[in-house]
Amino acid sequence: TAASGGGLVAYADSAAESAPDPSQDAPRKKVVVLGTGWAGTSFLKNLDCSRYEVKVISPRNYFAFTPLLPSVTCGTVEPRSIIEPKNKDVTFCEAECFKIDANRKTVHCRSAVGTNLDGNGDFMLDYDYLVVALGATVSTFNTPGVLEHCCFLKEVEDAQKIRKGVIDCFEKASLPNISEEEKRKILHFVVIGGGPTGVEFAAEMHDFLVEDLVKLYPAIQDLVKITIIQSAEHILTMFDERIASFAEQKFKRDGIEVCTGFRVIKVSDDLITMKRKSDGEELSVPYGMAVWSAGIGTRPVVMDFMQQIGQTNRRALATNEWLRVRECEGVYAIGDCATVSQRKIMDDISTVFKMADKDNSGTLTLKEINGVLDDICIRYPQVELYMKSMHMLDIADLIKGAVGDSHKESMVVDIEEFKKALRHVDSQVKNAPATAQVAAQQGQYLAQCFNKMEKCREEPEGPLRMAGGSGRHFFRPFRYKHFGQFAPLGGEQAAAELPGDWVSMGHSTQWLWYSVYASKQVSWRTRVLVVSDWTRRFIFGRDSSR
C-alpha cells in the first residue's frame, strides 16, 4: 500500500466521530447487539468479548443456517441440524427490541419468554455502542390475502410449518369421497417468487415427490403439480443467464411449470389471481398450498429508527463505509437491515486533486496521480471497478481518454480535466446484495474494528491515513468479497456462479455444493448433523411423517 505520509483526504464523514478515551481503569464499554442471525453471530464470534461488556438481544436463542432452510421443508435436513445454540461468553436476553432511542443511547425491549415482576416484560438497556443486526422481514408488497393464506420461508418455524403443510395436503388428497378436481387443487403447490429461495424450494418439493412421496401415495402421484410464478421474464435473475436458462430447461423436463411475466395480485383461500404484465390479462388458479418468497422488507423497529434519524424513504439503514449508521454516533448496522452508502469521488474531487498535487503546481503529473492511486482505490472502490469495466490497464488510460491523445508519460492535467476523466466513475457504485455472505463478512469486519478500537483513539474508523511510523492503526473501509453463489436445482444437480465469470452446472456442481455447505457450517456439531442427515436421506429417503 502506498504510504502517503499523512496528507490524505480528510474524509469529513468518517473522521467526524471522535474516539473514546479508553484509559486503563475505566469501566468496559457497553456493547449491545440486536439480532443473532448471520451478521450478529459473525460479529460475536469474532469479537474479543473480554474488552467489552456485551449484551445480546434476540427473540430466538439460536442461530439458524438459512441456506439449508429449503431442505428442512421436505425433511432432507432436520431443523435441529441447522441451528446453533447461543454463545456462552456474552449475556443473552431472549427478547425483542421494539425501540432504539439514539438520543438517550438506550434500547427498549420486550421479553419473549415471560413477564417480570411488574407484570410486563419490558426493559431498557443503555449502550455505548449499538450493533443493529436485525435482518429483514418478508414483504408482501401489500398484496391482499398473502399474509392470511401463504406460507413464508424465513425462519426455522416457517420451514417446519411448510413441511407439515405439504404432508397434510397429501393426506387430505388421499381421503375417500374427494373428486379428482378437488384432489388436483389440493395437490397444486405454488411458489411465488423465482429467486434462489423459491427455486430451491420448488426443486426440493419435486425431489420429495418423485423420490419419496410416489411410493407412499401411488394413487395420487399424477395429480400433483408444482408452479413457480415470477414477475420478471426469467427466474434466477441475479444469476448468469446461462444458469437461468439451464434451470428453466431442467424444470420444464421435470414438469415444474414456470410462469414468468406474471404478478400475483390477490390470494384467497383457494385461488391465486395473477396478472400478465404484458397485456394486463387476469388469471386465477386453484391451489392447495402457496409459498410466498417474493421480496424482503424493513422491520418496524428499523423503520421507526430510520424515521428518528431522518433516513426516510429507504428500505435499509444507510451506513458509511465503516458500517457506522450515518449521522448517528456509536450505532453500527450490518447485514440485511443495512446498506453501505459509498461516498462519491465527484463529491470530494477538489480535495483528492489537492492531495495528489504534492508540489502545489495546480496540475497533476502521471507520477503524482500514481502516488495516490492505491489510496483512491481503497477509499473509492468504484474507480477500480470502472477501469476494469472499461478494460483499462492503468489510470493513464482513463486520463488519456479525457485529455485527448497526449503522450502517456508526459501528460499533465488540471482540475477540470481531472474531473472530466473521473466523471463517470461513480456510476460503478454497487450495493451489496442481501445475502448471508455479505452479513457474515460485515460482522467479521466490524468485530475486527472493535477489537482494535483502543489502538486508534484518534480516528476509530479511518480516514485512510497510512500508519507510516505514527503508530496509529487505521481501518480500511469495508469491502465485500464475493465468493460466488449456488442454486441447487434438485435431482442431485446444482448450478454455481463463481468469481471470474465461471459458471458450472450439473451433478458435479451438486457435490461441490455439498462440500461447500458442509464446510460453511459454523460448528462441528451442526456439520456432523447435516452430513448425517444427507447420508440418511441417500440411504433411506426422507421422513414423511409429521
**Closest residue to ligand FAD using C-beta atoms:** 37
Q: CB under 5 to 8 A by kind: which of Mg ion, ligand FAD, none does 437 bind?
A: ligand FAD
Q: CB under 5 to 8 A by kind: which of ligand FAD, Mg ion, none does 463 bind?
A: none
CB of 415 to ligand FAD, least distance (A): 41
Q: Which parts of this chain interact with ligand FAD (CB under 6 A)?
A: 34-40, 57-60, 66-67, 69-70, 96-97, 133-135, 153-154, 197, 299, 301, 335-337, 434-437, 439
CB of 498 to ligand FAD, least distance (A): 14
Closer residue to Mg ion, CB minimum distance, 265 or 522: 522
Task: For residue 318, give the 3-state DSSP assignment.
Answer: strand
Task: Please list, in sequence order, all residues whose beta carbon lies within 8 angstroms of the beta carbon of residue 249, skipping any fewer than 6 positions away.
Answer: none
d(CA 498, CA 142): 35
Would you say 224 and 189 are in contact if contact means Cβ atoms under 8 Å apart?
Answer: yes
CB of 80 to Mg ion, least distance (A): 16
Using CB atoms within 10 Å of the CB of residue 54, give its burial: 0 to 12 exposed, 13 to 18 middle, 19+ buried.
Answer: buried
Q: How many residues are recorded in the chain?
A: 546
Site for Mg ion in 60-79 (CB under 5 A): 66
Enter the C-alpha cell of residue 497: 456462479
CB of 136 to ligand FAD, least distance (A): 7
- Cis preceding-peptide flag for 463 (omega within 30 of 0): yes
Closer residue to Mg ion, CB minimum distance, 189 or 418: 418
For the chain, how are helix, strand and coil distributed in percent, rounded to 5?
40, 20, 40
Please report, for residues 6, 127, 410, the alpha-carbon distance to residue 367 in angstroms, rounded to integers and kept in the order given: 18, 47, 9
Q: CB under 5 to 8 A by kind: which of ligand FAD, Mg ion, none does 359 bind?
A: Mg ion
What element of type H or E holds 33? Answer: strand 29-34
CB of 519 to Mg ion, least distance (A): 18
Would you say 31 and 129 are in contact if contact means Cβ atoms under 8 Å apart?
Answer: yes
Closer residue to ligand FAD, CB minimum distance, 37 or 288: 37
What string marks each residue from 13 to 52 as x (binds Mg ion by CB under 5 A) or -? ----------------------x-xxxx------------
d(CA 274, CA 265): 5
Closer residue to Mg ion, CB minimum distance, 185 or 299: 299
| Residues near Mg ion (CB under 5 A), total | 12
Closer residue to ligand FAD, CB minimum distance, 105 or 299: 299
Site for Mg ion in 304-363 (CB under 5 A): 335, 338, 357, 359, 361
What string marks each residue from 77 to 116 as x (binds Mg ion by CB under 5 A) or -? ----------------------------------------
Please report, for residues 28, 489, 534, the alpha-carbon distance to residue 215 in angstroms, rounded to integers and kept in the order given: 61, 22, 20
CB of 168 to ligand FAD, least distance (A): 21
Q: CB under 5 to 8 A by kind: which of Mg ion, ligand FAD, none does 299 bind?
A: ligand FAD
Q: What are phi and psi of 192, to 5 degrees?
A: -105, 115
d(CA 165, CA 35): 28
Task: For residue 154, give the 3-state DSSP assignment.
Answer: coil
Contacting residues toward Mg ion, per CB under 5 A: 35, 37-40, 66, 133, 335, 338, 357, 359, 361
